[in-house]
Homo-oligomer: A and B are copies of this chain.
Amino acid sequence: MSKNLTKRSEDYSKWYNDLVVQADLAENSGVRGCMVIKPYGYAIWEKMQAALDKMFKETGHENAYFPLFIPKSYLSKEASHVEGFAKECAVVTHYRLKNAEDGSGIIVDPDAKLEEELIVRPTSETIIWDTYRRWIQSYRDLPILINQWANVVRWEMRTRLFLRTAEFLWQEGHTAHATEKEAIAEAEQMMHIYADFAENHMAMPVVKGVKTETERFAGALETYCIEALMQDGKALQAGTSHFLGQNFAKAFDVKFATKEGTQEYVWASSWGVSTRLMGALVMTHSDDNGLVLPPKLAPIQVVIVPIYKGEDQLDAIAERVAPLLKELRQKGISVKFDDRDSYKPGFKFAEYELKGVPIRLAIGQRDMENNTFEVARRDTFAKETVNADAVIEKIEFLLEDIQNNIYKKALDYRTNHITEVNSYDEFKKVLENKGGFISAHWDGSKETEEQIKNDTKATIRCIPLDAKQEEGVCIVTGKPSSKRVLFAKAY
Chain B residue numbers with a CB within 8 Å of A130 are 29-30
Question: Are the CB atoms of A96 and B155 closer together than 8 Å?
Answer: yes
Closest B residue to A275 by CB, please name it. Answer: B65
Question: Are the CB atoms of B64 and A34 closer together than 8 Å?
Answer: no
Of the candidates B27, B39, B68, B117, which one forms a contact with A167 in the assembled complex, judged by CB atoms under 8 Å apart? Answer: B68
Copies in the complex: 2
Chain B residue numbers with a CB within 8 Å of A74 are 30
Tell me which of A6-14, A85-93, A190-198, A469-477 binds B. Answer: A85-93
Closest CB pairs A-B (n = 10): A34-B67, A39-B62, A86-B97, A37-B65, A91-B94, A95-B155, A76-B106, A31-B67, A93-B93, A90-B92
Chain B residue numbers with a CB within 8 Å of A430 are none
Residues of A at the B interface (CB closer than 8 Å) are 27, 29-31, 34-39, 42-43, 45-46, 62-72, 74-76, 82, 86-98, 105-106, 108, 117-120, 127, 130-131, 134, 140, 146, 150-151, 153, 155, 167, 169, 342
Question: Are the CB atoms of A68 and B106 closer together than 8 Å?
Answer: no
Question: Are the CB atoms of A86 and B93 closer together than 8 Å?
Answer: no
Q: With the chains together, A86 CA to B97 CA distance in Å?
A: 5
For this complex, 25 residue pairs linking A to B, each with C-beta atoms less than 8 Å apart, are: A30-B131, A31-B67, A31-B71, A34-B68, A34-B69, A42-B64, A43-B62, A46-B63, A65-B169, A72-B108, A75-B106, A82-B97, A86-B96, A86-B97, A87-B98, A88-B95, A89-B95, A90-B92, A90-B118, A91-B95, A93-B93, A93-B94, A97-B119, A150-B151, A151-B151
Question: Are the CB atoms of A63 and B89 closer together than 8 Å?
Answer: no
Question: Are the CB atoms of B36 and A68 closer together than 8 Å?
Answer: no
Tell me the smallest distance from the CB of A237 to a CB of chain B, in Å: 22
